[in-house]
Amino acid sequence: MLKFFRKIRQKLLGANEISKASSPAGRYLVYALGEIVLVVIGILIALQINNWNEGRKQDQQEKLYLERLMLENQQDLLTFNQGIEELQKGNQTIRDMSAAFNDAESGDTLLWKTVTDYLMYGCHYPFFNPSTSTFEDLSSTGNLVVIKDTELRDLIVNHYANYKFVESNFQVNTNWALPVDAPFYTENDALKYEPFTEPLFGNQTISEISNDLRNNKQKYLRNAAVHYWINEDCINHLNGVIEETSYLVQRLETELKNRK
């Protein structure tokens, strides 16, 4: 680029545009000023090219982050919906067990089956485990600033802050259920109805099992009511976070389409 400007200057000199200076000192001053101008122009051009390259790199980096965020949140939607299905299945086992306990006509086998289903699926602790690696990367490296749309950036920050809120609520529910479950399992020998541990208690007839369960009906229903409540609470939280995550995914998809 500097050679290009020097050729222009030399043509001007050859055309006597500058060589008419009144003295050698004057011609030298003009020559020196021309060199300075060329250097300044070269520096400005180099800075402009560098800024353009840096801007292009930031645009590429921003696009990669947005793509990662979109993919992770799409996966989160699948995870959250699966979590709701599992919680709903658990609560269905609770309703079935309650119906069997409260129906005097329920057979022994039905009662035993509904209790084992509850112990298998209804009294699990809900967990909230979204994908946060990309946001953690953005936060820890200070790269959040590469997302130029401030509204979108704020939306992303608030989205993951809400993840923390939902996670804390799941943990509160678990902390509430744990002290209830521990004495229930030990005082009622509930593990002898768990498929994995049942053989450890020796052979039991269905009649013996059902009589034992009916004698402890209220204890089973009280324990199940705790899990039913926390399952419903977690389902409500998941429905809310699904709505929010879906909106974020739509915004990310729109932003990426606009870049094509």
Model pLDDT for residues 205-236, shown as the tens digit of each residue: 889 889 999 999 999 999 999 999 999 999 99
Residue 15 pLDDT class (50, 70, 90 cuts) = very low
Provide the pLDDT for residue 188: 84
Residue 94 pLDDT class (50, 70, 90 cuts) = very high
Phi-psi region of 142 (alpha: psi -120 to 50; beta: other; left: phi over 0): left
Model pLDDT for residues 128-187, shown as the tens digit of each residue: 999 999 999 999 999 999 999 999 999 999 999 999 999 999 999 999 999 999 899 888
Provide the pLDDT for residue 18: 47
Non-local (6+) Cβ contacts of 208 within 8 A are: none
Residue 37 pLDDT class (50, 70, 90 cuts) = low
The residue-averaged pLDDT of 18-23 equals 52
Non-local (6+) Cβ contacts of 133 within 8 A are: 72
How far is residue 248's CA from residue 134's CA, in Å, rounded to a whole number? 14
Check: pTM over 0.75? Answer yes or no: yes
Provide the pLDDT for residue 101: 96
Is 170 within 8 Å of 237 (Cβ atoms)? yes
- Mean pLDDT rounded to a whole number for the chain: 86
Around Cβ 158, how many Cβ atoms within 10 Å? 12
The first and second tokens of residue 119, run together, are: 């112990």
The first and second tokens of residue 30, run together, are: 């003009």
Residue 192 pLDDT class (50, 70, 90 cuts) = confident
How far is residue 63's CA from residue 185's CA, in Å, rounded to a whole number? 52
Is 115 within 8 Å of 213 (Cβ atoms)? yes
How far is residue 186's CA from residue 219's CA, in Å, rounded to a whole number? 12
Residue 204 pLDDT class (50, 70, 90 cuts) = confident
For residue 29, how many C-alpha atoms fall within 13 Å in the half-sphere facing its CB?
A: 7
Q: Which residue has the higher pLDDT, 149 or 53?
A: 149
Taking the alpha carbons at both ends of the chain, their separation in whole angstroms is: 32
Based on the number of CB atoms within 10 Å of its own CB, is 69 exposed (0-12), middle (13-18) or buried (19 or more)? buried
Provide the pLDDT for residue 193: 79
Q: Given a cut of 90, is residue 126 above it in pLDDT?
A: yes
How far is residue 204's CA from residue 213's CA, in Å, rounded to a whole number? 13
The residue-averaged pLDDT of 113-121 equals 93
Is 156 within 8 Å of 135 (Cβ atoms)? yes
